[in-house]
Chains A and B, each alone.
Chain A
Amino acid sequence: MFFTAVSSPLITSFFSFNLETKKAEMSLSGKDKTVVKAFWDKVAPKTAEIGGEALGRMLTSYPQTKTYFSHWSDLSPESAQVKKHGATIMGAIGDAIGKIDDLQGALSKLSELHAFKLRVDPANFRILAHNIILVLAMYYPADFTPEVHVSIDKFLQNLALALSEKYR
């Protein structure tokens, strides 16, 4: 009896309206995409280095993140393992920028990996994003204006969302 009452057209359209607005929440505008692509082109020569730095700083400033890397012998910022993995991450981000119109599709396999194999708590994506942003600001202070900052922040947030897609 309760369920037939709930399935009235008004209520159905209310729920689907909310689902639609949820999907559109803070999504990337055309301007965001342009800004992100242009900035990434600029920083392309240094992305590997930036990735290594960002990962090293994440492990130093947020020691709880080290729990995911207990299989590495050296978790310091100078570690070759850290630098290599940071470069790998930035490579994947660069690939995602190439498919910025369909991040969910682009990250589907990586999402499965993080969800089922690595089982990284998605809260950590925000932490890594903060460190990537900080290192970008350090390397390109004049270019990392507030407008570039917001577009990159939004992009990384959308990336994190796509990466969390397969979790549950």
Chain B
Amino acid sequence: MVKWTEEERRIIRGVWEKVDIDEIGEELWARALIVYPWIDRYFGSFGDIFTTTAILKNPKLAALGKVVLSALDTAVKNMDNFKALYAPLSRQHYEKIKVDPDNFRLLAECITITIACKLRAELNPQVQATWQKFLSAVVEAMNSQYK
């Protein structure tokens, strides 16, 4: 696991404090599915996700957004050992949902872009670099059981 400095912890917590899980959670999957439409291969049971309008008002997607951000909350609160905590999630995505792990990177980028829309200049270059470093560690944790 990454060794975080005090400064990095402060920055990551600072960003996370400003994230409203309900608000960002609702937008997250809409952006991902509109920008990377091939992701819909994993959403067979989600009903209508085939037009922008349908995607933007699909309640299952909004709910899943909150689930993902709650998991991210766990990582923020356990920065020194979330890799172990994420192992069951990683295994689930590998063995049950069978997600191509490149999608973790795509979703991480969508999370950052959505947060950039909200935080704007507060996400200065140093904050962006630290936040992206954190998300890379999360993506790595999600990859850990793919073997």
Interface residues of A (CB under 8 A from B): 53, 56-57, 60-61, 77, 130, 133-135, 137-139, 141, 144, 146-147, 149-150, 153
Contacts and interface: CB of A to CB of B under 8 A. Distances in A.
B34 A147 contact: yes
A120 B124 CA distance: 26
Contact of A60 (B30, B112, B126): B126
Interface string B43-77: 00000000010001000000000000000000000
A80 to B, nearest CB: 16
16 contacts: A56-B125, A57-B128, A57-B129, A60-B125, A61-B129, A134-B113, A139-B120, A141-B118, A144-B117, A146-B56, A147-B34, A149-B34, A149-B35, A150-B34, A150-B35, A153-B35
Contact of A134 (B34, B52, B116, B126): B116
Query: From DSSP, what is the main secondary structure of chain A's interface residues?
Result: helix
Interface in B119-133: 119-121, 123, 125-126, 128-129, 132
Contact of A141 (B117, B126, B128, B129): B117
B9 interface: no
Nearest to B52: A147
Contacts of A77: 125
A1 to B, nearest CB: 41
B19 to A, nearest CB: 14
A134 B30 CA distance: 17
